[in-house]
Amino acid sequence: MREILGRRRRLLSRRGDEGPDLIGAALTFASDWQWPVLPGVAVDPQDGSRCACPDPECTVPGAHPFDPGLLAATTDARMVRWWWGNRPTAPIVLATGGNAPCAVSLPAPAAARALGALDRRGMRLGPVVASPARWSILVRPYSMEQLGELLYAKDFVPGSLRFHGEGGYIALPPSQTAQGGIHWERAPLPGSASPWVPDVEAVVDAVVDALTRTGVSAPEL
């Protein structure tokens, strides 16, 4: 049976008195929106700036799958409750692609400038996920062939752009990672329907154009 919608809407609040409602957010993503999720690896309990995974050089500390692996991502509410019932502080990882949104990400300073330029042009964007280092613009699912053709047709694509498609992942709000908290820079509207997201072509065209026009090359991060 579905949760009461009013409880699900708490995912839009950044932090309550008892900390972020991770299980409520995970249930919204999985059950209401049909986005496959799984718990990510936590930060190192002895050093909050490091990842708890075995890789000492981990580039996304506390913000990636480990155990279980990415293929375990699910929309099953019972599994979500079991995972976060046992790991209540685990970050929420979205398995991108398939029927779930994909994402285009870029470094936070360049992303802020690009989104400002897109707002001035009146371009409609869907949800935007922000971490201290990078922002991710959610887009409709795309294939590798579609992405390849899109990039091939471009004279210039900033090397700092990253594409999270089939087999990829991003951490979702209100996760806490070793690099800081994950939040909505552009939050989905409250409700039970899966949020609208734009096509990848529109986002890449607009972001590349905005970065070029504003003179923002975006560092290779």
Q: Which helix (H) or strand (E) holds 86?
A: helix 77-86
30-67: per-residue pLDDT in tens?
999 999 999 999 887 777 778 888 888 888 888 899 88
pLDDT band at residue 85, thresholds of 50, 70 and 90? Answer: very high
The pLDDT of residue 208: 87
Q: Which helix (H) or strand (E) holds 151?
A: helix 144-152
CA dihedral 148, 152, 153, 156 (to 10 degrees): 120
Output the six-digit token pair for 148.
Answer: 């390849």
Distance from C-alpha of 30 to C-alpha of 86, rounded to nearest angstrom = 17
Q: What integer is the mean pLDDT of 1-15?
A: 38
Phi, psi for residue 64 in degrees, rounded to 5: -145, 160
pTM value is 0.85
